[in-house]
Amino acid sequence: MDQKTFDALKNLRERRGTLDLPPFLAFLFDLVKLVVVAFIIVWPIHYFIFQPFYVVGPSMEPSFYDKEYLIIEKISYRLNDPERGEVIIFQSPSSLKDYLIKRIIALPGERIVIKEGKIYIYNSFLPQGFLVDGGGYLFPGTTTPGAVDLTLSSDEYYVLGDNRNMSLDSRSFGPVKREYITGRAWFRGWPFSNMGLIKTPVFTY
């Protein structure tokens, strides 16, 4: 094979590995590749680990206010069960396309009683029951309207809004099933003045 034939074959192989596109189409092709790569990276994070949530309404005041921006953490509930006091985001039992934010008050298998503005929980550890206090996260003097006496099944959680007089919660739509819980409120991103990790109150029994 002479040098001229060798160079021709080399040039042909190089052209096969290169797309000879106009500049605009080359830009679009690179943009599509970028979008695909970004989707491959971001989608698993959004689906399995973190998700943004925008607070709407006053039902969780004073803990969370209207238009605050939160980050939901999902992975811990794939490994452990939700705990009392945690703020969760879940699909509304009355409309699964809507997502709500509330605080867990009673756990699966527990009996919850609401009477005279107070909340009592009965379970196997404390069969005599205990009073659920405000934990420092409610407006001073807050009471809980309603009359409830309910025992939860093995996959149900009883949730309430912190603003008890302005909340549509388990007193209205009943307990929330475990399968409808998306994740827990983990980080507040807005407003900047309150940015930080979201703490779970400690309940005293």
Pick left, alpha or beta for residue 174 (phi over 0 → left; psi -120 to 50 → alpha; otherwise beta): left
How many Å apart are CA 129 and CA 205, to the nearest integer? 9
Residue 59 a catalytic site member: yes
CA of 19: how far to CAs of 23, 75, 150, in Å?
11, 42, 68
Q: How far apart are the first and last CA of the chain?
A: 91
**Residue in the structure block whose two tokens are 């006496």:** 149
Phi first, then psi: give them for residue 92, nearest 5 degrees. Answer: -65, 130
How many Å apart are CA 108 and CA 151, to the nearest integer? 8
How many Å apart are CA 68 and CA 5, to the nearest integer? 70
* Active-site annotation holder among 74, 102, 167, 170: 102
Residue 33 a catalytic site member: no
* Active-site annotation holder among 59, 63, 167, 170: 59
How many Å apart are CA 136 and CA 203, to the nearest integer? 10
Catalytic residues: 59, 102
